[in-house]
Chains A and B, each alone.
Chain A
């Protein structure tokens, strides 16, 4: 890595003692000697293992659940179903007042995605829990499922989630989050060229080497200590407190040494049910996702569809941009309404465009609920935007890098969501890229600056 100190040298003082120094990481000696303690490195005498019985169907009504054989299996201590969970219907963003509660801890009456948790088995050994889980009998009536976002949005599509009542998240702005800036239709009318293109991604797994999980120990004083690899301690604690209807003062969460997260460990999935198990049995409980669960059960990065329509002038100016984004939330909200909204705040990208129209939808389908991942709400949008930029440049016969200079935002430019640009540095990044990649651009672009025009 090379630091290029010549850029922005006038706004930076390099006189610090500790900041800017490549100090060794205090946690690395533990890592290289094998002594760092992750949550799963703690075990307690008498610890029980929790395994989930999961839905084999994408969408089905549960007619009946028979756990009698599982309960008789040697080593099984307790079997949990929906009725054991004090506040079974929840949603994690309720803590920032983004409802409605739309997801069950353990499925109650219905499953909405293949892999949804229905019954939890607690046993002396992992193997006993696994074997007993296979003995739980669930009678399903399979229902039609919908996987395609466009299908889901059509009238008459199977309803994925009754708590929403329609297959999209209802914002205060309606069926989507909207950004309106300038007059996009007038912009298109005056443009030399129009280009409308559609982009698509598929779900992506965080794949941390350490899977999601927790170990819970009852403390004997009516408190429970939960060793967890959550990315958000109080977020998880407070949601657990709601789900278990247990005062937060009874809960003690310990974490902060995590084998990679990338956004995959912000759902509140393993802790509430494991603590409930510990409470009902009085024994320590561990619930750790298998690699297969991590891959197909834990929330992935949402699949997205992004439709971009641009009006561009032959001189390189983009005069109008309309973006319609669809985020595939899967069967439940988790963080997706937030991610779709974050997308609305990100488009039209780091470019100054006078006429912008943005609609972002959060759509429900019968698949694994998606959630946050590194670059949440932005990564796929950037893929779409930047491929579109390449296409536009070629459409008007301009160098793709020069085309970006023409449209790059600078300090003081008004963004579509009506915040003036501050601290821009896109132009300088492109100038340096031009140099290191030996991708020459015209001298006037190399002379540009992100500082406000005329400043």
Chain B
């Protein structure tokens, strides 16, 4: 199978790989690069567990070909903590007990991060809208909504 070179930054560090043409970004990240924080819950674009941030936008890595990411800046949940300090969203998910099995959590955090990056003070409806592409089977969603609202509050307090 034809190999294609791709180069991008992942959580700020340069990556360069030869990958099989047609490889999804999800598989490239997990199998080639070793970042297993995006999860494969369906590989068909219906669960959101594989969500990552590409050039500031929320994307499903299972529906994104790795070769289309040449030159992109990619962020995953693994890259959120800085200097060992958790991102406010991660902190908020802990504080509101918003994870049970945790399999949906990295995708949820990605979706929430893009929301807060664009809309630092979202309404409850905006949070719901932002999470609506992500499936969680354990929590009933309410604790996740609360986590995002709490992180937003923490943000605005820091800014104030």
Q: Tell me if chains A and B make direct contact, with any CB pair below 8 A.
A: yes
Residues of A within 8 A of B (CB): 24-25, 27-38, 40-41, 43, 125, 127, 206-211, 258-260, 262, 290-292
- Flag if B36 contacts A260 (CB, 8 Å): no
- Flag if A31 contacts B46 (CB, 8 Å): no
Q: A259 CA to B50 CA in the complex, in Å?
A: 14
* Contacts known (A208-B103, A209-B103); A28 close to B93, Cβ less than 8 A: yes
- Flag if A32 contacts B41 (CB, 8 Å): no
Q: Of residues 48 to 79 in B, which have CB atoms within 8 Å of A's CB atoms? A: 49, 76-78
Q: A259 CA to B47 CA in the complex, in Å?
A: 13
Q: A40 CA to B44 CA in the complex, in Å?
A: 17
- A contact residues around B41 at 8 Å (CB): 209-211, 259, 291
For the A-B complex with A207-B137, A210-B101, A259-B103 known, give 7 more contacts whose Cβ atoms are closer than 8 Å. A25-B97, A31-B102, A31-B106, A41-B30, A209-B136, A211-B42, A291-B42
Indicate which residue in A25, A31, A41, A209 contacts B49 across the interface (CB closer than 8 Å): A209
List the A residue with the shortest CB-CB distance to B105: A31
- B contact residues around A32 at 8 Å (CB): 77, 86, 89-90, 93-94, 99, 102, 105, 109
Q: Which of B22, B37, B89 has the most CB of A within 10 A?
A: B37
Indicate which residue in A29, A33, A125, A258 contacts B80 across the interface (CB closer than 8 Å): A33
* Contacts known (A36-B102, A38-B103); A29 close to B94, Cβ less than 8 A: yes
- Flag if A40 contacts B40 (CB, 8 Å): yes
Residues of B within 8 A of A (CB): 20, 22, 30-31, 35-44, 46-47, 49, 76-78, 80-81, 86, 89-90, 93-94, 97, 99-106, 109, 135-138
- Flag if B46 contacts A210 (CB, 8 Å): no
List the B residue with the shortest CB-CB distance to A210: B103
26 contacts between A and B (CB under 8 A): A24-B94, A28-B93, A29-B86, A29-B94, A30-B102, A31-B93, A31-B106, A32-B90, A32-B93, A33-B80, A34-B36, A34-B78, A34-B105, A37-B36, A125-B20, A206-B137, A209-B47, A209-B49, A209-B101, A209-B135, A209-B137, A211-B41, A259-B39, A260-B100, A291-B41, A291-B43
- B contact residues around A210 at 8 Å (CB): 39, 41, 101, 103
List the B residue with the shortest CB-CB distance to A206: B137
Q: Is the interface of B mostly helix, strand, loop or mixed?
A: loop
- Flag if A260 contacts B93 (CB, 8 Å): no
- B contact residues around A262 at 8 Å (CB): 137
Q: Is the interface of A mostly helix, strand, loop or mixed?
A: loop
Q: A259 CA to B22 CA in the complex, in Å?
A: 27
- Flag if B90 contacts A33 (CB, 8 Å): yes
- Flag if B77 contacts A260 (CB, 8 Å): no
Shortest beta-carbon contacts, A-B, top 8: A34-B37, A31-B102, A259-B103, A34-B77, A291-B42, A41-B36, A32-B90, A31-B99
* Contacts known (A208-B103, A209-B103, A210-B103); A291 close to B44, Cβ less than 8 A: yes
- A contact residues around B105 at 8 Å (CB): 31-32, 34
B150–chain A nearest beta-carbon distance, Å: 13
- A contact residues around B35 at 8 Å (CB): 34
- B contact residues around A41 at 8 Å (CB): 30, 36
- A contact residues around B78 at 8 Å (CB): 33-35
List the B residue with the shortest CB-CB distance to A288: B40
B81–chain A nearest beta-carbon distance, Å: 6
* Contacts known (A32-B86, A34-B78, A291-B43); A27 close to B37, Cβ less than 8 A: no
- Flag if B94 contacts A260 (CB, 8 Å): no
A71–chain B nearest beta-carbon distance, Å: 20
- B contact residues around A127 at 8 Å (CB): 22
A200–chain B nearest beta-carbon distance, Å: 25
Q: A284 CA to B134 CA in the complex, in Å?
A: 32
* Contacts known (A290-B43, A291-B44); A208 close to B137, Cβ less than 8 A: yes
B67–chain A nearest beta-carbon distance, Å: 15
Q: A291 CA to B101 CA in the complex, in Å?
A: 18
List the B residue with the shortest CB-CB distance to A127: B22
Q: Which of A125, A207, A210 has the most CB of B within 10 A?
A: A210
List the A residue with the shortest CB-CB distance to B92: A32
- Flag if A38 contacts B39 (CB, 8 Å): yes
- A contact residues around B97 at 8 Å (CB): 25, 28
B2–chain A nearest beta-carbon distance, Å: 13
List the B residue with the shortest CB-CB distance to A22: B97
Q: A36 CA to B109 CA in the complex, in Å?
A: 14
Q: A292 CA to B93 CA in the complex, in Å?
A: 30
- Flag if B102 contacts A291 (CB, 8 Å): no
Q: A210 CA to B137 CA in the complex, in Å?
A: 10
A75–chain B nearest beta-carbon distance, Å: 9
- B contact residues around A292 at 8 Å (CB): 44
Indicate which residue in A40, A206, A259 contacts B102 across the interface (CB closer than 8 Å): A259
B107–chain A nearest beta-carbon distance, Å: 9
List the B residue with the shortest CB-CB distance to A208: B137
- B contact residues around A125 at 8 Å (CB): 20
Q: A208 CA to B136 CA in the complex, in Å?
A: 8
A396–chain B nearest beta-carbon distance, Å: 36
- Flag if B106 contacts A34 (CB, 8 Å): yes
- A contact residues around B93 at 8 Å (CB): 28, 31-32
- A contact residues around B40 at 8 Å (CB): 40
- B contact residues around A207 at 8 Å (CB): 135, 137
- A contact residues around B30 at 8 Å (CB): 41, 43
